[in-house]
Amino acid sequence: MDSGATSANPFFHPTILIYEGGAAPRPLVEFSMSDIEQTYTGPERVFSGVQPSGNLTLGNYLGAIKRFVEMQDRHDCIYCVVDMHAITVWQEPEDLRRATREVAAAYMAAGVDPKRSILFNQSKVLAHAELAWIFNCVARMGWMERMTQFKEKSGKHKERASLGLFAYPALMAADILAYKATHVPVGEDQKQHVELSRDIAQKFNNDYNCPGFFPLPEPVIQGVATRVMSLRDGSKKMSKSDPSDLSRINLTDDHDTIANKFRKAKTDPHPLPGHVDELKDRPEARNLLGIYAAFADEELISVMDKFAGAQFSQLKNELTELTIAKLSPITDEVTRLMADPGEIDKVLEDGATRAREIADPIMTEVRRIVGFV
């Protein structure tokens, strides 16, 4: 299948494409690829999701949600709050309910329009669970064992991790393929999972001799903020699970907290460089300049021009101002929306109804293909 990196494909604008390769399916040793063409002829559709576990970070916003908003103009988009993924690690039920509504509110506050796009929470549409089971039977243990996220999240005690955490990528494939989604905007950390979805789609199409039934979904990883790094360590991803709150900006942080976190952010002793090549060994400079560029909707290179030769303190001051200016309207809107949870629930219910309308006929076909009576 075409990697999608053509000028005809609107997702792959050459000036902002940073996702290179990896779209071609890896060889699957468990079965031999037949000569059957894997061409999918259905419509293009975008699907993505965010977990309601803990606070949303700047990484979630710049790497994913901001990009979801941009995609609505030109594509049919389905955006999901993946509550079933969240319970792969323990969630207090009351916290989960609140976080689910909060992620839905953040989507809307950032500009996801629930009239144009479909916005819902995963557990409302049973197709996800059903297709995930079928994919559990298609995917191989060896594929799952290679997933770096499982290795990181399960840590030293794999045997104590939930079975759901291990099978997580099959549920993610089901999320995407229950709608035959063709494009999946994500941050770089999710690339391996989307590639596994391609493997699962391809093996299903092969095993059940239904070439082109499922599309092979493309990860869409674009822009300057595909991997926002920790403010305390430029070699680690910014993450909601980092024990240090100083490592991340949360979408709920107030102005003073944002200013304090940028002030304390790790730097190096040199002035800021003027050429991209000079960022190679300067992860902290790269990260802060990248965050600035993402918020300002500018190319990294023009932001580098602006700060070339300046001290980190100047960048930090301007970055603080820019971050507050961009995030406070979103934070305020989340607070406003959260005051009326009933309204959020209505949006999610309406989204789930529209999501089912797409998934139901696909699942009827899947059941027939698999041999369920």
Identity of the residue, 86 or 303, whose beta carbon is nearer to ligand TYM in the bound complex: 86
Identity of the residue, 85 or 180, whose beta carbon is nearer to ligand TYM in the bound complex: 85
Residue 237 annotated to the active site: yes
Q: Which residue is nearest to ligand TYM (CB)?
A: 63
Q: How far is the CB of 209 from ligand TYM (least distance, A)?
A: 26
C-beta of residue 57 within 8 angstroms of C-beta of residue 239: yes
Interacting residues with ligand TYM between 150 and 209 (CB under 6 A): 172, 175-176, 184, 186-187, 189-190, 193
Q: Which two tokens stand for residue 130?
A: 């059903």
Taking the C-alpha atoms of residue 269 and residue 280, their distance in angstroms, rounded to an integer, is 15
* Contact mark string toward ligand TYM, 100..129, x via CB under 6 A: ------------------------------
Residue 220 main-chain phi, psi, to 5 deg:
-115, 105
User: Strand 46-50 to strand 218-220: parallel, antiparallel, or no bridges (unpaired)?
Assistant: unpaired
288 binds ligand TYM (CB under 6 A): no
3-class SS at 331? helix
Buried residues in 248-273 as b, exposed as e (16+ CB within 10 A): bbbbebeeeebbebbeebbbeeeebb
Beta carbons within 10 angstroms of residue 369's beta carbon: 16
Of 237, 261, 306, 316, the active-site residue reads: 237
Interacting residues with ligand TYM between 199 and 238 (CB under 6 A): 225-228, 237-238
For the chain, what is the largest distance between any 2 Cα atoms, rounded to a whole number of angstroms? 70
**What single-letter DSSP state applies at residue 117?**
S
Interacting residues with ligand TYM between 238 and 267 (CB under 6 A): 238
Taking the C-alpha atoms of residue 337 and residue 102, their distance in angstroms, rounded to an integer, is 9
Residue 326 annotated to the active site: no
Q: How far is the CB of 127 from ligand TYM (least distance, A)?
A: 13
51 binds ligand TYM (CB under 6 A): yes
60 binds ligand TYM (CB under 6 A): yes
Among residues 4, 23, 38, 63, which is the contact residue for ligand TYM, using CB under 6 A?
Answer: 63
Residues in the chain: 373
Taking the C-alpha atoms of residue 333 and residue 340, their distance in angstroms, rounded to an integer, is 12
Q: Which residues bind ligand TYM (CB under 6 A)?
A: 47-51, 59-60, 63-64, 82, 85, 172, 175-176, 184, 186-187, 189-190, 193, 225-228, 237-238
Q: Which residues are catalytic?
A: 153, 237, 240
